[in-house]
Structure 1
């Protein structure tokens, strides 16, 4: 009696559907994720128990490093352009279209307005090195910080102000920033902290 041979079944698996799902998931995560802004200095925020979330849009962030240097950022490019133009008008400085373009795409700014043209003419890698050693003047003799905040508010009335300071930043510097905001009648702002036992809030 002859043996019957069993035909082996094909092990081929069509992965087309799996590839489609992978691409869709990747696209979803790319569209819904929020990009982290590049900051010129590293800031370790103090811990707190507050769970209030900072809004994702219409935010004017004030960054204060451990040495007391002040930087700022806006989340909308049209606000960045309007603020630079207003500052140029106030300080009688004319920026070229290329300088405006470089300012608009920068994530954080913080140099004295008198040095802004020279700063924007630098290549990007040099701008990053220069920025961390600068800072917006915020003292009683030359408080350009007030001008930036005032012009930012004029460009976007819906702005929410958030202060992000290092845990080791001298209190006198933070108080000076808060006093400047009060002089502008900006009495509502958020302090960015790290939730105890969690990541940054």
Structure 2
């Protein structure tokens, strides 16, 4: 008896709806996501069980690396520009429009004000490397850290101060930063930590 061959039929699946959903999801994530700020050094924050969230806007971030070098960041380019000009005026340093534009692009800054002009004239790649070797002076002779914080506060009174230090940073360095803030009557600030899970109670 001869075998009956069943004709093969192509299965067509309309992927239009799936493509639309994919594009919509991609657009949603692009519009709602926030970019991670570029930092000059890698900092591993200590763990804590505090769940208080740092606001996303109007934040003055203070970054302290394990060697004790201090860097700062402002989340608004306009605040960056006005703070730079204000600090420059106090030290008798003027910046060109090109240098100000370069400073506005940075998310983190931290070089002595006397070399800021030279730093801002460097290409972006060289700036990243130079920043790692510098840091804002915090010594008692010329505590430029205080000047930067006061200028930033004068530019934007709504700023919240947040300190982000490495877990291996010596306590003496953190204390120096806190003492500097107290000297200029900045007694309210947040410490950025990593959320540590609370151990379940033993039954």
TM-score, L = length of structure 1? 0.92
The aligned counterpart of 2:152 is 152
| Partner in structure 1 of residue 111 of structure 2 | 111
Aligned equivalents of 1:178 and 1:5: distance in 2?
85
Mapping 1:26-45, distance limit 5 Å: 26-45=26-45
Per the alignment, in what secondary structure is the counterpart of residue 132 of structure 1? helix
Aligned to 2:101: 101
Q: Does 1:11 align with 2:11?
A: yes
Unmatched runs of 5 consecutive residues or more in structure 1 = none
Q: Tell me, what secondary structure is at the counterpart of 1:176?
A: helix
Contact 2:44–2:166 (CA under 8 A) maintained in structure 1: yes
Contact 2:61 2:73 in 1 (8 A): yes
Query: In 2, Cα distance between the equivalents of 1:7 and 1:159?
Result: 73
Contact 2:49 2:197 in 1 (8 A): no
Cα displacement (A) at 1:184: 1.4
RMSD: 1.8
- Deviation digits for residues 36-67 of structure 1 (CA, Å, limit 9, x no counterpart): 11111111111111111111111100000111
Q: Following TM superposition, by how much is the alpha carbon of 1:191 offset from its aligned partner in structure 2, in angstroms?
A: 0.3
Q: Is the 2:64–2:165 Cα contact (8 Å) retained in structure 1?
A: yes
- Aligned residue-pair number: 196
Task: Name the TM-score, length of structure 2 as normaliser.
Answer: 0.91
